Amino acid sequence: MSTVYDFTVKDRKGNDVNLSDYKGKVLLIVNTATGCGFTPHYAPLEDMYRDLRDKDFEILDFPCNQFANQAPGTEDEIHEFCTLTFGTEFPQFAKIDVNGENADPLFAFLASEKPFSGFGKGVKNAMLNKFADMNNKKFGDKAYIKWNFTKFLINREGNVVSRFEPTTDMSEVRNAVEREIGQ
């Protein structure tokens, strides 16, 4: 059985990073964008990181421009925006595709372990689902991630334990992370 430790990704400078370097840590892996309605998630993510990083917790940030072109710019421009606007200190990786023929294998794996199960109830969630479906239609069966700020919680053994859509309240995400750290 595969785990996230079987994958190698690129950091924002283009260097290989083997995710086995994170063995024994609780991870939250997120696809992000700087021009999205969910971009404010960076603030609670950074708060969580500052509060919990000393407890073997890491957030791994993967910018993605596949959702309405909401992550324009280079890796350096994205990093500068995140650090200046939100004070982010957690690791940020190279901009990637999470859907389609060029989808990063890590995200294809994450989504296969915890497939999309809906954005939740309510008018806003229904509208996002309709917009996401229109955006992702071009990816066919390789539309693994529905929208920016999808989060995957990984346990200390490298297994995917939860998936949180961007519509999930960040306090719920934090509670799940804290529970996982406590195990």
Q: What is the CATH number for 23?
A: 3.40.30.10
Where does the pLDDT of residue 153 fall: very low under 50, low under 70, confident under 90, or very high at 90 and above?
Answer: very high
Three-state DSSP class for residue 160: strand
The confidence score (pLDDT) of residue 52 equals: 97
pLDDT band for 122, please (50, 70, 90 cuts).
Answer: confident
Q: What is the mean pLDDT of residues 85-104?
A: 94
Mean pLDDT of the chain: 91
Helix (H, G, I), strand (E, B) or coil at 14: coil
Active-site residue, from 29, 30, 36, 173 = 36
| DSSP string across 112-158 | HHS------SSHHHHHHHHHHHHHHGGGGGG----STT-EEEE-TTS
Report pTM: 0.92
Binned at pLDDT 50, 70 and 90, residue 1 comes out as low
* 82 assigned to active site: no
Question: Band of the pLDDT at 61, cuts 50, 70, 90?
Answer: very high
DSSP state for residue 168 in the 8-state scheme: S
Across the range 69-92, mean pLDDT stands at 89
User: Do 11 and 94 contact (CB within 8 A), yes or no?
Assistant: yes
Lowest mean pLDDT: which of 40-44, 137-141, 156-160, 166-170? 137-141
Beta carbons of 56 and 183 less than 8 angstroms apart? no
Kindly state the average pLDDT of the residues 32-43: 90
Q: Considering the chain, what percentage of its residues have pLDDT values greater than 70?
A: 99
Give the separation between CA 51 and CA 16, rounded to whole angstroms: 28
Looking at the 3D structure of the chain, how many domains does it have? Answer: 1
Stretch 82-89: mean pLDDT: 91
* Average pLDDT for 10-15: 94
Domain interval for residue 120: 4-182
Question: How crowded is the C-beta side of 37, counted as CA atoms within 13 Å?
Answer: 7
d(CA 23, CA 20): 5
Note the pLDDT of residue 127.
77
pLDDT: is 84 or 29 the higher one? 29
Residue tagged 């806003």 (tokens)? 124
